[in-house]
Amino acid sequence: MISGYCAIPGGKFSSATPAQIANQLLDTARIDTLATYHPRTHGRGEARLSRALAPDWIS
């Protein structure tokens, strides 16, 4: 599932490296949507493509 999630921002940000795309997904993950969020259980949170695709470019 994550490789599919990476393909979508990879299409928009075609000059981004795989690491940049992964970081964009991790940095825009949400934890406020998980009632009992704990990093050991949920990692960095719930991936949100809309947030990952929101900027015009990623660094």
Q: So where are the chain's domains?
A: 2-53
In the DSSP assignment, the letter for residue 46 is B
In the DSSP assignment, the letter for residue 55 is S
59 has pLDDT over 90:
no
Indicate the length of the chain as a whole number: 59
Distance in angstroms (rounded) separating the CA atoms of residues 31 and 43: 9
Q: Per residue in 22-45, pLDDT tens?
A: 999 999 999 998 999 999 998 999
Q: pTM here?
A: 0.81
Q: What tokens appear for 35 in the block?
A: 């009632």
Distance in angstroms (rounded) separating the CA atoms of residues 30 and 42: 10
